[in-house]
Amino acid sequence: MVRGMPATLVYLIRHAETVWNVERRIQGSLDAPLTDRGRRQVTCLVAALRGVPLAALYASPLERAQETARPLAAARGLPVQTVDDLRELDQGEWEARLLDEVRAEDGERLLAWWNAPHTVRMPGGETLEEVAARARRAFDEIVARHPGRAVAAVAHGGVNKALLLAFLGAPLAAYWRIRQHNACINLIEVDGAAVRVLALNDTTHLGEHAWHPPG
């Protein structure tokens, strides 16, 4: 980036709520449709970003990210540019299974995933280190294409957290210390070599359609 050029802004978004999110079923590299609330969340995202002059819109190839991205792109006449490296963490044999099923059948590994996620590879899946490497590669390529502009990227909780931890200078061991709720917005500023997190897991635009803890 040329000295004196405006910073590049990246609106890093998690996809809207899916049926499997509600069921507590592990998605990973598989897909499930958005819920009615998820579609309302997308409408809220469109409204929240209406005034942002986006130069481009990128998304993971997974349908839940594409379904979130398409209305954002259509609202401003942009195509959705698919980036394979933004796909979610591949969770191998855990995918499509309920969390309680995994707890019953692979409880020791699940406990390790919660306590030391940077040390775990799900059977047939990826590690956080592998996800972080490809996600950062994708992020840097997107920024390089749009110096001084604003862009959006719709990805996933695991991908987003891996990126955010890197930007904050935190280890992957801190994976569970930050949250990424459905349809949240993170705002990243890239100014030369400096990368700053201006907003993290912002869901204020969702109003009544935001995630709320049970009870």
Query: Which are the catalytic amino acids?
Result: 15, 156
Distant-in-sequence, close-in-space partners of 144: CB < 8 Å, separation ≥ 6: none
Residues 69-74: contacts with CB under 8 Å, at least 24 apart: 69/152, 69/154, 71/42, 71/43, 71/45, 71/46, 72/42, 72/45, 72/46, 72/152, 72/154
